[in-house]
Every structure is written in C-alpha cells, then in structure tokens.
Amino acid sequence: MDAHFLAPQPTPLSAPFWEGTRTGELRLQQCDDCGGWRWTPQILCTHCYSPHFGWEAASGRGKIYSFTTVHRPPVPTFIAPYVVAVVELDEGPLMLTRIVDVSPETVAIDMRVKVKLTPLDETITLYPFTAD
Ligand SMILES: [Zn+2]
C-alpha cells in the first residue's frame, strides 16, 4: 500500500501554504487588519472576521501543546511508534503535526520544536517538527 493515497490535496485556499513548504517556508495567513495569525487556512480572520489577509513566512518554531504516541498505525507504511502532536507555534496558532527524529519517550509538553520540511513528492512537502 502506498502512503500517497493519504497525501494532502491543495485547494485554492491552501495552495499558498503548500507552495511555501515546497520552497522552504512555513507560511501562515496573517490578517491585514488586526495582525493576527491563523491556522488552518480560513477565508475570514479568526480574531476579527476581516476578509483581508496575506500569506507570511512564520518562524517554524514553537512548543508542544499536546501529543500522543501511536503504537498501532492506520496503514502499514506508517512505522510505529510515532508521535502525533499539537504544536503551539511562536506566532500563536496550534498546528497538528508529527514529531520526528526524537525518541517518543523523550517527547514532553512544552518541549521546544522546529519544523523539518520533508518532501513527499514534487508537489507536496510535509511539515513534521523535531526537537529545537
Ligand atoms: Zn484580524
């Protein structure tokens, strides 16, 4: 079984994010009116409901807000155990991701992490995080 059947499918709204990861940036939407950052992609600001925004490069850094270790993967191509986490980005939004290159036993709440952009194919670059 090929893991690509689970690959993200960019939409017109999320395409700038995927263009960013492919070119080395973790981009988030930032509101033109209040400056608030948001994730996941939305058509309106989650702080002030403004429809005006730009895609800006975020720091790619944050800390672990919550996590779980998966021991029974949903597909055989996912090698368990692995860590799924919610990372609180330094810009504020929460991002669901994976933690890689770290032993699952050492992962902890508030652990500092940074994005490790990882190409899946020529169009999709995934955004797992690793220890900072
Ligand atoms: Zn706003």
Answer whether residue 2 is part of any domain: no
Answer whether residue 106 is part of any domain: yes
The answer to whether the pTM exceeds 0.75 is yes
Q: How many domains does the chain have?
A: 1
Q: DSSP string of the chain?
A: --GGGG-----TTTHHHHHHHHTT--EEEEETTT--EESS--SS-TTT--S-EEEEE---EEEEEEEEEESS-SSTTS-SSEEEEEEEETTS-EEEEEE-SS-GGG--TT-EEEE--EESSSS-EE--EEE-
Q: What is the pLDDT of residues 87-116, one digit of tens each?
A: 999 999 999 999 999 999 999 999 999 999
* Domain that includes residue 112, residue range: 11-131
Instruction: Report pLDDT for 95.
Output: 98
Distance (Å) from CA 67 to ligand 1 centroid: 29
Distance (Å) from CA 52 to ligand 1 centroid: 8
Answer whether residue 123 is part of any domain: yes
Q: What is the pLDDT of residues 11-34, one digit of tens each?
A: 999 999 999 999 999 999 999 999
Answer whether residue 5 is part of any domain: no
Instruction: Report pLDDT for 6.
Output: 77
